[in-house]
Amino acid sequence: MSALRRHIHPGWALVAPFLLLVAALYLGPILNILWLSVTDPEPGLGNYQKLFESDSLLRIFWTTIRICLITTVGSVFLGYSIAYAMVHCHEKQKSYMLTLLLVSFWISILVRTFSWLMLLGHRGLVNNALEGMGVIAEPIAFMRNELGVLIGMIHYMIPYAVLPLLVNMQSLDMRVMNASRNLGATGSQTFWRIYLPLTTPGIVASSLLIFILSLGFYVTPAVLGGGKVLMIAEYISVQLLVTLKWGTAAMLAGLMLFGVLAMLYIMSRFMKLSTVFGGSS
């Protein structure tokens, strides 16, 4: 901002047309959506009022936030372990691991979701095997409930956790850790007091990324939730396509948008977001 105030670089004139185009193409539809939320079906704040009138909308919000939080914690935890292993293993193994990670990253979400049904479903591989071995009498209900949704989502999100963490861990100066050991700290002390704090930007980056992506999840809850796990994205789609309550849909979409922006703003009060997203500070 201060740079802008001092003088406007002539370079801006070159990019200005494109900036304006992008702004128009992004802001136009978004403003249209926000406009819908206060005009459809009738002008006023009726759509927002619904939030306070119906506890079901709040419940859907709560379900969404709860699932997103658990997904974030679960995938960042697993992703951290994987990234840690990747940084510290042999170069060759590391490239194998990276390949596997990217392959799973590229496979369509539908395929990955339905594979879980094959694996953990009622007649899935795991249940069949356990039953065959006589360990269980009845199949375990892994799928078609909230547990199923969480398994599917955490699995899907792990690559998103690993990649920012990996970048962060690779950029660390390992001599710091050696110095810590040299000064008499144990391995776990070094990890908790040196390594973990140094990887905080990576943790924050992947948490933000995963939480925001999870908010919009649609396919996985619909397929693995057995119809009982209703998240906000699916609800919005039903309001758009089936019940034609576009005002409600626009209101919920607007709230999501501002929720995410507010979250980014709060984060930016505590740390430089540009370091989180890999820019120089």
Please identify, using beta-carbon distances, which residue of 190 and 239 lies nearer to other proteins: 239
Residues 6+ apart with CB under 8 A from 207: 72, 76
Query: Closest separation between CB of residue 26 and other proteins, Å?
Result: 19
Q: Which residue has the tokens 């094959």?
A: 118
Question: Residue 16 CB, nearest distance to other proteins (Å)?
Answer: 29
Return the number of the residue (60 or 158) whose C-beta is nearest other proteins. 60
- Indicate the residue among 211 and 235 with the shorter CB distance to other proteins: 235
Q: Which is nearer to other proteins, 34 or 240 (CB)?
A: 240
* Cα 134–chain centre separation: 38
Q: Report the nearest approach of other proteins to the CB of residue 140 (Å).
A: 12
Q: How many CB atoms lie within 10 A of CB 236?
A: 22
Identify which of residues 39 and 81 has a Cβ nearer to other proteins in the complex: 39
Q: To the nearest whole angstrom, how small is the minimum distance from the Cβ of residue 270 to other proteins?
A: 34
Residue 117 Cβ, how far from other proteins at the closest point, in Å? Answer: 8
Backbone angles phi, psi at 162, to 5 degrees: -65, -45
Residues whose CB falls within 8 Å of the CB of residue 71, separated by 6 or more in sequence, listed in order: 150, 153, 154, 157, 210, 211, 214
How far apart (Å, rounded) are the C-alpha atoms in residues 92 and 71?
A: 30
Q: How far apart are CA 252 and CA 236, in angstroms?
A: 7
Could you list the residues that contact other proteins (CB under 8 A)? 54, 56, 59-60, 63, 117, 121-123, 144, 222-223, 226-230, 235, 238-246
How crowded is the C-beta side of 53, counted as CA atoms within 13 Å? 6
